[in-house]
Structure 1
Amino acid sequence: MESDLWICCCELHFGLRGVRLEHSVASSEDEEWYVNGSKHLNLSLVYGNGCNNRTMERLKSRAQPVRRLWLCWLRPLSKHKHDDHCFLETIANVVTSLPFIFVGLQAPRKKTVSKFYADSLIGVGAASSLYHASRGKARQLLRRGDYTMIATSALCLSRALLQSENWKGFFACSAALVPFQPFLVTILHTGLTEATFARRVQTQPLLKPAHNLHTISSLAGATLFLADGLYPQTPYLHAAWHLVAAVSVLTYNKLLE
């Protein structure tokens, strides 16, 4: 009982810090864990000299889902992000990035902030297509560009919906964070947009069908996004996420009309 509790504490402590659950092949007896590429500690320091292979395997198997979630969701710019499995999947990912461009072309452009949002959606589709078509050293750079464009689009949309002077400082800080923390900016401003959408539905019943479609597609998109990270060997999950996400983003256009 005590050993199980100790294992749970260890996997929580190290799993939430992005520990790479890999061991050194140089030594089978002296297992080593690494954090950010550097040797962090010896397992004997965690478990004592009585550590055995069975205990290690139990720890790694329990913490593996946490690690996968960390790499695919909490650290989306990680270099461990898997590549497309084959040429056909690359084609599928490039083609399913194009709907974001079409949504951007159809987005309302009545105001300057709306124009910025529409153009940012076109940028999202272009950045995603370039990333999936890339290979080699350029791929990691284009991955960052992909997430930066998504964050920029989320920021532009919330700015188009919340034009009060009280939000100016917040949007300025968010814009400064985009190059460094794009995923955080995306989460914050998507949350603002979702709250605004739900509030508008209460006063504008005509938005309800669009909101219902948005809710369904958003839940499906979140499920596919997590599944893509937790089960990276499953092909075409990412392409499916592109399509569902494009439907979800399309419903935002109703808010700007």
Structure 2
Amino acid sequence: MSPEKSNKALAGVHGMQLVSHSPVSFQEMSKLDDLTCGASNTGTDHQRRLIVQKVWHERPACLRPIRCTHTGDQNIAETVANVLTSLPFIAIGLQAPRKNVNCKIYANSLVGVGLASSLYHASRGRLRKYLRWADYTMIATATVCLSRALRNENPKLLMTASALFLPIQPLMVSAVHTGIMEVAFAKRAFEDPDLRMAHNVHKMSSLLGGAFFVADDLLPQTPFLHAAWHLAAAVGVTTCNKLLD
């Protein structure tokens, strides 16, 4: 039976409709399916990006970077004072005990604090906010190094968390490790009478430095408050070195 007769015979069957085979139609349908799948994948990727962006924008404050809002160095005299009062940290770092690796790292970090602070206060323009971040981060690094030098067996979880939060929350890291140092200093001073004088000086300089730090934040237009904080902090750091002798 020829194909034409076969088609005519089947055409009369109820419910059956014959469609001629067309390669062009098949290719068009395939392309349409590919476009539909591509659009679906694109929409899914877009939704994923929106979810990631939403999670990132709604992250807690502890995961947000610091905002450097210090407005000091308003004139050349204040800049010179801030740079000069940053230099003692370099001298303290050079004279700090270096009896082991941890002490050497801490001493070098103090030198870094002095350099970062000097560069920040001498800077201007867009670079200033990045150097302010470096200043905060270097201070936090020094507190971590001091904590490590005082206690060789710091909890691994604490050190890991400190390393993770150091770039984004240096002030929080500084506060935690400064607290650890204060507790260690108080215990050592209680046990060793020779450290009590240094501890008393440390307490006074810490209180004075804290007052200057808060005043500098509340009264940003008042000159030389930041330089005074530098000096009080330098005295406090010098007394801390007694713990490493």
TM-score normalised by the chain length of structure 2: 0.72
| Match for residue 224 of structure 2 among 236, 247, 250 | 236
1:1-257 → structure 2 map (5 Å cutoff): 77-164=66-153, 167-257=155-245
Q: What is the one-letter code of the residue matched to 1:146?
A: D
Q: Deviations over 1:116-172 (max 9, x none)?
A: 1000000000000000000000000000000000000000001111112x5233112
Cα displacement (A) at 1:83:
3.4
Counterpart in the other structure of 1:52: none
Q: Using the TM superposition, name which of 214-223 and 173-182 deviates more.
A: 173-182
- Give the structure with the higher percent helix: 2
- SS of 2:71's equivalent in the other structure is coil
Cα displacement (A) at 1:85:
1.8
Question: Post-superposition, which runs of at least 4 consecutive aligned residues in structure 1 deviate over 2 A?
Answer: 75-81
Cα displacement (A) at 1:175:
1.6
Query: Where does structure 1 lack aligned partners over 5 or more consecutive residues?
Result: 1-74
Cα displacement (A) at 1:193:
0.2
Q: Deviations over 1:210-233 (max 9, x none)?
A: 001000110000001111111111
Structure with max Cα Rg: 2
Percentage identity across paired residues of the two chains? 57
Q: What is the one-letter code of the residue matched to 2:97?
A: P
CA RMSD between the two structures = 1.5
Contact 2:144–2:174 (Cα < 8 Å) also in 1: yes
CA 1:213 to 1:110, structure 2 compared with 1: closer, same or farther past 3 Å?
same
Q: What is the one-letter code of the residue matched to 1:124?
A: V
Cα displacement (A) at 1:76:
9.8
TM-score normalised by the chain length of structure 1: 0.69
Contact 1:77–1:143 (Cα < 8 Å) also in 2: no
Contact 2:72–2:220 (Cα < 8 Å) also in 1: no
CA 1:192 to 1:79, structure 2 compared with 1: closer, same or farther past 3 Å?
closer
CA 1:222 to 1:139, structure 2 compared with 1: closer, same or farther past 3 Å?
same
Contact 1:94–1:133 (Cα < 8 Å) also in 2: yes
Cα displacement (A) at 1:79:
4.4
